[in-house]
Amino acid sequence: MKRVAQVLFCGLALAFTIMAGASAQTQSWPDGPVKIIVTFGAGGTADILGRIIAAELSQEYKQQFYVENKVGGGGIVGSTEAFKAEPDGYTLMIAGAGPQLVNPALNPNVAYQTMRDFTHIAMIAGDSYILAVSPSLGVKTFKEFLAATRDKPSIACGSPGAGTQGELLQHIINSKTGSKLQPIAFRSAADAVNALFGDHILAAMQPSISLGEYVKANKVVGLAVTSRERIAAYPDIPTLTELGYDVEGGASWFWLAGPNKLPADIVARLNASVRRIVASDRIREQFARSALITVDLDQKATTSFIADEVKLWASVAKDNPLPPQP
């Protein structure tokens, strides 16, 4: 009996030692640089938000948080690296609608499952998509655009990448309106916008943060937004809903995530930090100028929010299957 008690005591002591060591390790986090993976190229919404969050977290934690762009597969390449990383808090990711919601819904062979393989830490911001065209197309309204498509076999329309929300939205618009958008996948939203501005393509379906300034400067013509309500920064652009076309899944959300099983105390600290950052007057004003919206959620509510979005996009993808690739 005495020996059993000694064994139990030693086992408990070892368990407490391990727990104490893990606690000390997370309390010292971060004691080195933290990588934030962005799954798209420079200049897009994910990249812009990632650099804002990285700069703010670097200041708060007195350690370097830095962005690393991992481009490919509509966000699959970077997402795969993120979910396979050690869950130690030194590899994080700017998660988004394309890689975490749309791509898994469209492609059952994606290596990860959004709710199984990631820790969803904190919401950052939401964006709407704008359908814009080159002035050379000679249209000013969505109605004129639909009329113009009748005379063309197709209209090349830039998306942020294959399997992204921007690509799927184009197919949804085609099915609902009879338009002839031909999605052209670019490596980033910035590349697609530059191609539109240079008249290499005639249309683009892009996040407002990437496209809005060109619309304001009258360098491209904004025809419609995918949000349920008009965007305050671009009040003259109607929503697809008010034009008579109900398009689900128009909002594009971005949040901070990491590999599954991140330590709970690190997650709690990061959630509180991101919420403070997003709620600050300076960042709120910056987001408002870019027509970004925010939601203030704790980590549990963030996870629940993303779970609902996963279900939504699974339904949207089922109802709007992509046509076979040529």
Q: Report the 3 state secondary structure along 149-180.
A: HCCCCCEEEEECCCCCHHHHHHHHHHHHHCCC
Q: What is the model's pTM?
A: 0.78
Query: Under a CB-based contact definition with an 8 Å cutoff, are residues 107 and 323 in contact?
Result: no
Q: Over range 33-40, report the average pLDDT.
A: 96
Q: How far apart are CA 105 and CA 313, in angstroms?
A: 6
- Write down all domains in the chain, each with its CATH number in brackets: 32-126+252-319 (3.40.190.150), 128-225 (3.40.190.10)
SS3 147: helix
Q: State which H helix or E strand residue 253 sits in.
A: strand 251-259
pLDDT at 23: 53
User: Which H or E run includes 221?
Assistant: strand 221-225
Calculate mean pLDDT across residues 190-209: 87
Q: What is the mean pLDDT of the chain?
A: 86
DSSP run (H or E) holding 6: helix 2-28
Task: Please give the pLDDT value at position 191.
Answer: 85
Find which of 176-180, 196-200, 272-276 is predicted with most confidence, using mean pLDDT: 272-276
- The helix (run of H) or strand (run of E) holding residue 196 is helix 189-197
pLDDT for res 172:
85
Tokens of 233: 């920064």
57-71, 128-142, 169-183, range with the lowest pLDDT: 169-183
Instruction: Summarize pLDDT for 86-111 with one digit per residue, the tens.
Output: 999 999 999 998 899 988 888 888 99
Residue 15 reports pLDDT greater than 60: no
| H-state helical runs in 88-240 | 103-106, 114-117, 142-149, 165-177, 189-197, 208-216
Is the per-residue pLDDT at 310 higher than 50? yes
| pLDDT for the residue numbered 143 | 93
Within 10 angstroms of residue 22's Cβ, the number of other Cβ atoms is: 12
Q: With 80 as the cut, is the pLDDT of residue 326 above it?
A: no
What is the arithmetic mean of pLDDT over 245-273? 91
Q: What is the pLDDT of residue 16?
A: 45
What is the reported pLDDT for 25? 57
Cα gap 42→38, rounded to integer Å: 9
Whether pLDDT at 247 is above 80: no
CA pair distance 275, 244, nearest whole angstrom: 36
